Chains A and B, each alone.
Chain A
Amino acid sequence: GQGVEQPAKLMSVEGTFARVNCTYSTSGFNGLSWYQQREGQAPVFLSYVVLDGLKDSGHFSTFLSRSNGYSYLLLTELQIKDSASYLCAVKGTNTGKLTFGDGTVLTVKP
């Protein structure tokens, strides 16, 4: 089976950074995605990783360690508008199906 775990809440300060963690256990692994979801809106794709290491995409960076079943999304130079829920999703097979975590609600304070 598959399980994807995320902390429920995270708080940080404008201008600093936030790291959203995700751990997973799957019977197979074919990549991990991050989505941003604002209150009352649909999820929006941010990033996808399939290889170990850090993938720098500017404001959003993602890290993956397949041996540890661990990923994080790093947001730098935080803005108030980065306050949202961040969803981690694992693609366990070649079917295209994603298993989502419950999301981490990030609150960015002034």
Chain B
Amino acid sequence: EAAVTQSPRNKVAVTGGKVTLSCNQTNNHNNMYWYRQDTGHGLRLIHYSYGAGSTEKGDIPDGYKASRPSQENFSLILELATPSQTSVYFCASGGVSYEQYFGPGTRLTVL
């Protein structure tokens, strides 16, 4: 049973539109993370959360908002999507150990 799930798995959006990416985890981890990965590159941290109600800016937060309404759910919101936000987005959860558990990713294309 997958512990970190993401929806949608694929999304095509128009420039200026609003996009919401959702993440759910059943690991009961306090920490959750949103990353983006561009072709040939590593993961870059957008936003993260220490628990329900908390969100923190990561390394590249501009143009993104995040929401953590519960322990299980963490959303990434693009209020005004731009083509430069075309990427693969990964959600991850982590607890007190050093390991992060990743979801399957969402491929977002902004036209």
Q: A residues within 8 Å of B by Cβ?
A: 4, 8, 31, 33, 41-45, 48, 50, 87, 89, 91, 96-103
A97 near B48: Cβ-Cβ < 8 Å? yes
B55 to chain A, nearest CB (A): 13
When the two chains form the complex, which single residue of B40, B42, B59, B104 contacts A41, counting CB atoms closer than 8 Å?
B104
The docked-state distance in angstroms from the alpha carbon of A102 to that of B35 is 13
When the two chains form the complex, which single residue of A31, A45, A48, A97 contacts B101, counting CB atoms closer than 8 Å?
A45
Q: B residues within 8 Å of A by Cβ?
A: 31, 33, 35, 40-45, 48, 58-59, 90, 94, 98-105
A102 near B100: Cβ-Cβ < 8 Å? no
12 A/B residue pairs, CB under 8 Å, sorted by A? A31-B98, A33-B100, A41-B105, A43-B90, A45-B99, A45-B101, A89-B43, A96-B94, A98-B43, A100-B44, A101-B42, A103-B42
A100 near B42: Cβ-Cβ < 8 Å? yes
Q: How many pairs, one residue from A and one from B, have CB atoms within 8 Å of each other in the complex?
A: 49
B67 to chain A, nearest CB (A): 19
Residue of B at shortest CB range from A6? B42
